[in-house]
Structure 1
Amino acid sequence: MRPFKLSDLQALSEKPEKDDAAWLAGAADAIGYLKANTQNDEIIIYASGNSVLIHGALALAKNVTPPDGDALQNMHMMMDDCWKIQKSWGGGQGHRMYLEPPLDGSKSFKGGEALIFRRVFNGVAESRSSIELSQKLVHSLDLHYLRERNAYCRLDARGDIEDVIKIIQRKASPPFEHLDVVTILRKDLDAYMALSKTCLVLKFDFTRVRWGSFAGWGHTNRYNKDEVDLFYHGGVDGEASYCNGAMIVRPQVTVRGLVKAWKDEENPSKRKYATFKIFDRKNNCNVETSCGPGSLSNYFQKSDLPWEISPAFFRPEVLHRFKADPEKYALEDRSITCRNAWYLKSYDINEAGQVHAYIGDLARLPYEEQLYWQSFNEWPKGTISARAFQTDIAGDWDLSYEPLGALKHTISAMEKDPPAWWKSRGTALSDAVRYPATDSVKEWGDEVLALDQYLVEGFLQKPLSDVAKSGGRSIEPKWASLRVLQEALVAKGATEDHAKLLVQPMQKLHALRTEVRGHASTEKKKKAISEARTDYGNLREHFTHVVTECERALAEILRIFDIKLDS
């Protein structure tokens, strides 16, 4: 198989600017392109341009086995031939109304299916007609149209968006001025054809003339060709030629083959599994073992094999990929989800800064994802985290204080009925704030920025100013929201020293954002990094301290404003 290349099709559709005589007489050369098209990973089912017209539809296999080549060549397959409510009268049957399917006038296409439609809204639409796809095809393949990709898509096994049916539209030279193409992945078309007992019939016409000066067909050397599932005729008239016909593309898979592939996917013995360094909890030792089901056991089995709940440990950089692409990955506090492709049930970070996950959970990941985790795997430098032991091993609730979770809970509860001086942050900003997994300056800076956007930017200057003024406080026009918040707290009964103390953690956070992610000098940034590591050992611990101070300050601020939260 080979990929579809638009440039190859453009070479068939557009007359070269120089030395065009051979091209004009060579319409039959396009037959080679059609044959190659059936071997592509993507197959063209529609193309319309200056010298190209390809239009595909599905016919029941029994109706084209054997095929009637003459009938296929002579039939008309129109783009606006779609489902209709027909009205008829006469023949002794009176007035009748009924649904008429597309392509109903051809014996070869009885029970078949049109794939592409282009309808015109007469009297209303002035722009070019849109390209519509068979909803039966789109729904059966579980596809969804994404406008920014101009394609019908789904998620693949990696959680990436896969273009299954592409609509390609490019400007071209006159007279058509456009080249429109629709392609579909061959493997998906094959599966659909096998299950629907159909074949793809491609009607095609390649006409090469000098548009604008062509006087018509005169002394034309004509030909007719019949090959296996390919029927065409054409002619050459000096520096002009045409080639017109029909081609049948049969599925390369069977229903039995599809069922076998499905069973193989579901069969654990057919899957591949990576090997990990783990702490074997059952035998209390470090071992290296496959995560396959034949290499693990559980509490209910009598075996010397490691338990599925034995942890594997990883360098913290393993989380960077998931933090860097929040559109694809949902990195929760204890779990990771890759769209609807895979789910890691449990992970955490221990006191030594290692990420850990249970080998039984790793076994449920796709093999490629297992290999990614394997590349960060290392021997344990400590035990699993205290909360992981509490919830996963002891089976108890983890009631320990966790500042970032507490902060998010407070803000979420406040936003059920937010005060006038607070701008709701929403889930996107909340989800963006995470603890740094490593001692990376960039990761730390990113999290400082995210925390500042989540917390500090939530305070609204104007409503806070109104609160402060109503309590007799004077507000300078140049003051930002945190300085105004300080005065509003005094207006609500806090002492000036206490108000200043409460606002200080968020002011430090905002200043730190400027130093590590803003336009501060290199010296200030280096100093901030050095102080964070010196005072707290590493940047992760420093961030934890910042969050703790901010969470406690916010809780006290809400108390002073007499805001009671529902859990």
Structure 2
Amino acid sequence: MSREDIDHFSQKARRDAIDMLFDTPWITLFRCEGEESWFSGLIAPEKAPTALKDFTWDLHWGDMRPSIVTYGQGDDAEIQYERFQDDGYEPIIIARERGSGPFFVELAEDARLFLNLFPGENGSLVRSDSNGDEETVVTVSPQEVRIRKGPLLAYLQARQMYLAIYFDHIVKLEGVGDNPLPESERYVDVREADRTWSFGSIDDIGAPLSRLCGKRLLEPPKRQTQSQLDADKDTYASFIIGEDDMGKAREYSADPAGLANLFGKNRDAPSYLTSVSFKRQVLDRYFHNPGKYEVSDGMVRNDPHWVLRIDDDHSDRVIVFLGDLGRDLPYSEQLHWRAHNILPDGTMSRTAQSRSFDARFADGEQPEHRFKSAYQRFNATWLKIHGWPLLRPLATSDKHLLTKLHVPTGDNPAELDAQLVGLAKILIDSLNDAKLDEKLSTQVPGERSIAKLERYLTNISYPHVERDIAALRTIQGLRSTGAAHARGSNYAKALKRSGLVDQPAPIIVKKLIEDAITMLDGLEGIE
């Protein structure tokens, strides 16, 4: 017999694994597969010494359901409903048999609710942080359940109960007559401060058989004091708010509780309304993920988790109040903004001044916000006057194109292509061909949407046909020769016709958006 077979029979690897049970990021709470059986439970502190006296399991799979228990006999018997059969012991994993098929396995409800877990993919349990990002905490299958160590410790700390990992592994050597282990290694008993297990091997009832059975306990962390709980509750980043006398950046925490207000609080601290400046690139992550975030005029939101008011009416920066950064953003999001923090340069925009301090409504001046406002206003007005939409509503799969439309923050070809595709789908691909055909007295075989619109506008004597059709053809030309294909001479010609040769992406997109706004405003006046 090989050394490998002997080690397998002696369960050497599994004995070594007992030492490592709680030293990994994921802890196995349940496994029932082949030779291995793992189970787990919770033990009250006063029961732990008793549990460690015996290597047998304190809980069994049949003990995991509430039941009716009868004490005594006859009419004098006392009948009680009990959640668990042994006081001081309770399961953390519920494994139920349902006739044929695998076990139905789940994490105990108390743990799920305390950790605020929700069903994820493939039977996993997940939780969301304050930014809405999901983290897998528990993986669940009929054969195995694992949990992340951090959340498990938090639960044990709250409950002040020990975690017990039970194991019962059996190895049988078929086709072998005698026990391959020396007499001195056939039986091993271990009793230590946090574990008790027994290993035995026999060969007198058939094929050699070995069994490793026992438990190991994980002590709960001590409960935190109230001051520790308060310290862990909120964390705040510090942001650059100015310069000191030597020209070095001066920072201050965004903790709203530590800032001055208009009522005399924290007089020596910076004001809650201190302006903090950021590179405009801070918004890129939000524009690029419209399924999760939305950037609108003066606001960034991640519903339902947070909303941040911003002053984005600047071409090169974004300004936010120091107190709002701490009050409205989770710490992980504060760190993103901190990475784009710059020294203050200039004052708040007139738009933000009017909204924040003068309590007056003000339209944003950034092209993307003005375009979205003009687009919505035009669609509503045209439909009301004409009874049909000139621009068909965007398909659900394309709505993100309007949300993420913006002037790029840098000269990035990929970002330029994305904005060209968005403008083309919003303004050209959405043209209502069917209604235009209906309004035109003649049909031209193979006629494209822009040409149809040009004939329709000419027929109704619209005064800006040439201007607006040129704007659409520029967008279509740049999309078809650049964004949709490898750039070549046709793309360069399209830029030249538009007077945009050698211009960076922000200038190109800004010009196209401004022309589109002019077009929408003009078309809105058609009656």
Specify the TM-score bucket, using the shorter chain as the normaliser.
0.7 to 0.9
Residues 194/92 of structure 1: CA separation in 2 closer, same or farther (3 Å cut):
same
Residues 445/286 of structure 1: CA separation in 2 closer, same or farther (3 Å cut):
farther
In the alignment, structure 1 residue 73 sits paired with structure 2 residue 40: no
Query: In the alignment, which residue of structure 2 is the partner of 1:246?
Result: 215
The one of 543, 551, 554 equivalent to 2:509 is 543
Query: In the alignment, which residue of structure 2 is the partner of 1:448?
Result: 420
Give the SS at the match of 2:50.
Answer: coil
Give the SS at the match of 1:142.
Answer: coil
Superposed displacement of residue 243, structure 1: 0.4
Query: In the alignment, which residue of structure 2 is the partner of 1:263?
Result: 230
Once the two structures are aligned, what percentage of the paired residues are identical? 18
Q: Is the 8 A contact 2:375 2:520 kept in 1?
A: no
Give TM-score, length-normalised by structure 1.
Answer: 0.74
1:237-274 CA distance string (max 9 Å, x none): 587532012222221232x44x443211347xxx5542
In the alignment, structure 1 residue 276 sits paired with structure 2 residue 240: yes
Q: Is the 8 A contact 1:232 1:245 kept in 2?
A: yes
Superposed displacement of residue 144, structure 1: 1.5
In the alignment, structure 1 residue 346 sits paired with structure 2 residue 310: yes
Superposed displacement of residue 511, structure 1: 2.4
In the alignment, structure 1 residue 464 sits paired with structure 2 residue 442: no
1:441-488 CA distance string (max 9 Å, x none): 332322222233334333354x336524xx522142x33444444455
In the alignment, structure 1 residue 181 sits paired with structure 2 residue 144: yes
Query: In the alignment, which residue of structure 2 is the partner of 1:435?
Result: 407
Unpaired runs of 5+ residues, structure 1, are: 1-16, 170-179, 563-567
1:317-359 CA distance string (max 9 Å, x none): 23223333344544333233456665533231424x2222233
In the alignment, structure 1 residue 391 sits paired with structure 2 residue 355: yes
Residues 479/65 of structure 1: CA separation in 2 closer, same or farther (3 Å cut):
farther
The one of 139, 158, 164 equivalent to 1:166 is 139
Query: In the alignment, which residue of structure 2 is the partner of 1:315?
Result: 279
What is the alpha-carbon distance in structure 1 between the residues aligned to residue 358 and residue 248 of structure 2?
21
Query: In the alignment, which residue of structure 1 is the partner of 2:167?
Result: 204
Unpaired runs of 5+ residues, structure 2, are: none
Query: In the alignment, which residue of structure 1 is the partner of 2:106?
Result: 132
Give TM-score, length-normalised by structure 2.
Answer: 0.79
Q: Which amino acid aligns with 1:48?
A: C
Query: In the alignment, which residue of structure 2 is the partner of 1:233?
Result: 198
Q: Which deviates the most, 382-391 or 527-536?
A: 527-536
In the alignment, structure 1 residue 142 sits paired with structure 2 residue 122: no
Task: Kindly report the root-mean-square deviation, in angstroms, between the aligned alpha carbons of the 2 structures.
Answer: 4.4
Superposed displacement of residue 55, structure 1: 0.9
1:352-363 matched pairs, under 5 angstroms: 353-363=316-326
Q: Which amino acid aligns with 1:160?
A: D
1:481-520 matched pairs, under 5 angstroms: 481-487=449-455, 494-495=460-461, 502-520=468-486
What is the alpha-carbon distance in structure 1 between the residues aligned to residue 229 and residue 239 of structure 2?
25
1:57-80 CA distance string (max 9 Å, x none): 22333343432643x6155622x7
Q: Which amino acid aligns with 1:433?
A: L
Q: Which amino acid aligns with 1:165?
A: V
Give the SS at the match of 1:20.
Answer: helix
Superposed displacement of residue 525, structure 1: 4.3
Residues 135/430 of structure 1: CA separation in 2 closer, same or farther (3 Å cut):
farther
Residues 500/129 of structure 1: CA separation in 2 closer, same or farther (3 Å cut):
farther
What is the alpha-carbon distance in structure 2 between the residues aligned to residue 432 and residue 99 of structure 1?
58
**Count of residues in Structure 1 that have an aligned counterpart in Structure 2:** 508
Superposed displacement of residue 96, structure 1: 11
1:120-144 CA distance string (max 9 Å, x none): 365xxx6x55532223321221111
The one of 237, 251, 263 equivalent to 1:289 is 251
Q: Is the 8 A contact 1:464 1:481 kept in 2?
A: no
Q: Which deviates the most, 34-43 or 230-239?
A: 230-239
The one of 372, 377, 386 equivalent to 1:410 is 377
Superposed displacement of residue 412, structure 1: 7.5
In the alignment, structure 1 residue 54 sits paired with structure 2 residue 38: yes
Give the SS at the match of 2:74.
Answer: coil
Q: Is the 8 A contact 1:278 1:311 kept in 2?
A: no
What is the alpha-carbon distance in structure 2 between the residues aligned to residue 312 and residue 507 of structure 1?
41
Residues 393/292 of structure 1: CA separation in 2 closer, same or farther (3 Å cut):
same
